[in-house]
Amino acid sequence: MKIKKGISLIDQHDKNGFWGGKFGGNFIPETLKKPVEDLTILFQKLRKDKKFIRERDYYFKNWVGAPTPFIKLENLTNHLDGAQIWTKVVSEANGGAHKIYNATVHSLIAKRAGKKYIVGDTGAGYAGKMLSMAAKKFGLKCKIFMGAKDIKRQKPNCDAIKKNGAEIVPVYTGSQTLVDAVSECMRHWVSNCDTTHMAVGSTVGPNIFVKICGWSTSQISRELLIQIKDEFGKIPKKIKLLNCVGGGSSSFGFWNEFMHYNKKQIEFIGIEAGGPKKSKKHAAPLTYGSKIGILHGAAQYVNQNAEGQIEETESISAGLDYPGVSPLHCFLKDTKRARYTAASDEEALNAYKIVTKYENLNPSLEPSHAFAEAIKMAPRLNKDTIIIVNSCGDAQKDKDILRQRLGV
């Protein structure tokens, strides 16, 4: 298994939709074959359509707010007294997280496809919030599927979704989290695919959804590449790009433009959700060696039992609380281009405490997992090493959990 040069990673799948011959694909009911095929053809066309690209760039710049800041965390760097710590504050994007890129692109595609309705899943509520914002902006009716457990723990985002005029459909099946929300959203699409566009909230799902999402979030690394060159005059010799990984949309977008750099120069480190320290449950299929299975239409490493039933996950961070992971990340793991590790709930909370103590930054619980790893590794590295953490979400949505767990 090898990454090809000169071709975007999202396009490095075979004709059946598999990366590395085994990750991804289209394990979908017959009813969805046609809508998935239509969407594939449309997206292929739009990617090459200069007018569409101009439209995307226009909204990214003027509505999303590109580029998001790239800053050095001076105080944290001094405190850790090792590698330099930088961050890309993607949470400065309109709405407060990277989910806006995928939501904007899907809404633009839905318009082109002549669909009146758009539906999506959400865990932390950011994918849902952004989709509801974009739907409102582009005149689409919007439904968001969300696990009942997540509705309770991410109330601020739910309020925002409703304020944007979208309907939240609570999902009560299974663990009542993201995995069930995605299933229910797909089921809704099976029944309504003639009038409705579906936006899968991360780089997961049938092949085309992985591609559209990865293509959208790649805006992050497009900006970062320029910002690094501006800041340092050239690409420094040792960079580590740290990003939390749930489904894997922000990390893929954060890394994509650096794919072909030598990993000794630009290393990718993905941080999964290890769950509570005392619990055996986790949301870290890559770190803990889960087996390949099929979830939501794609083959991937996924937490499951020996029979193939998907296992329940546990994480303080709703956005990472997913038993599977993008086929793109499975491919990056097996080709060894990226490495993956996990941070526990407690480590993420502690990282949040440290970051907010030293910096004027408010990372949500998802990127706090990545900061936990940065805090762990920085003191052991020299000052020439540049650690960049993607601060992909704002902690506003986590205020209830933070108050409860940290008393802040």
Partner 1 sequence: MSISPISLAFKKSRIEKRPALLTYTVAGDNTKKKSLELLNSISKYVDICELGFPHNTPIGDGGQIQTSSYRAINNGIKMKDIFQIVKNFKKNKNGKPLILMGYYNMIYQYGENKFLIKCKKVGVNGLIVVDLPWPDNKKFAKKCKKKSITFVQLLSPTTSKKRMKSIIGDSHEMLYYISMLSTTGGKLKVSPKKILKNYIAIKKINRSKNIVIGFGITEKTIASLKKADGLVVGSALCKKISESLKKRQNPVTNIVRMVSRLKNKIS
Contacts to partner 1 by CB under 8 A: 16, 25-35, 173-174, 179, 183, 186-187, 190-194, 291, 293-297, 304, 306-310
270, 271, 272, 276: CA torsion to nearest 10: 170
Q: What's the rounded Cα separation, in Å, for the pair 221 and 234?
A: 15
Structure tokens at 163: 């304020």
Q: Is the Cβ of residue 207 or residue 391 nearer to partner 1 in the bound state? A: 207
* Cβ atoms of residues 389 and 76 within 8 Å: no
Q: Is the Cβ of residue 113 or residue 190 nearer to partner 1 in the bound state? A: 190
Rounded to a whole number of angstroms, the minimum distance from the CB of residue 184 to partner 1 is 9
Q: Is the Cβ of residue 34 or residue 116 nearer to partner 1 in the bound state? A: 34
Rounded to a whole number of angstroms, the minimum distance from the CB of residue 306 to partner 1 is 7
Rounded to a whole number of angstroms, the minimum distance from the CB of residue 69 to partner 1 is 39
Beta pairing partners, 18: 24
Rounded to a whole number of angstroms, the minimum distance from the CB of residue 283 to partner 1 is 15
Residues 6+ apart with CB under 8 A from 64: 93, 94, 100, 101, 104
Q: Is the Cβ of residue 16 or residue 404 nearer to partner 1 in the bound state? A: 16
Q: Is the Cβ of residue 145 or residue 254 nearer to partner 1 in the bound state? A: 145
Rounded to a whole number of angstroms, the minimum distance from the CB of residue 329 to partner 1 is 19
Structure tokens at 381: 């590295």
Rounded to a whole number of angstroms, the minimum distance from the CB of residue 174 to partner 1 is 6
Rounded to a whole number of angstroms, the minimum distance from the CB of residue 325 to partner 1 is 15
- The residue assigned the tokens 């009716």 is 141
Q: Is the Cβ of residue 32 or residue 325 nearer to partner 1 in the bound state? A: 32
- The residue assigned the tokens 């030598």 is 262
Q: Is the Cβ of residue 6 or residue 289 nearer to partner 1 in the bound state? A: 289
Describe the crossing of helices 219-232 and 207-217 by its angle, rounded to 10 degrees. Answer: 30
Amino acid at 87: T
Nearest to 275 by CA among 402, 365, 150: 365
Helices (H) and strands (E) in the chain, counts: 15, 14
* Cβ atoms of residues 104 and 77 within 8 Å: no
Q: Is the Cβ of residue 253 or residue 323 nearer to partner 1 in the bound state? A: 323
Q: What's the rounded Cα separation, in Å, for the pair 21 and 370?
A: 30
DSSP state of 201: S
Rounded to a whole number of angstroms, the minimum distance from the CB of residue 150 to partner 1 is 17
Beta pairing partners, 88: 70, 390
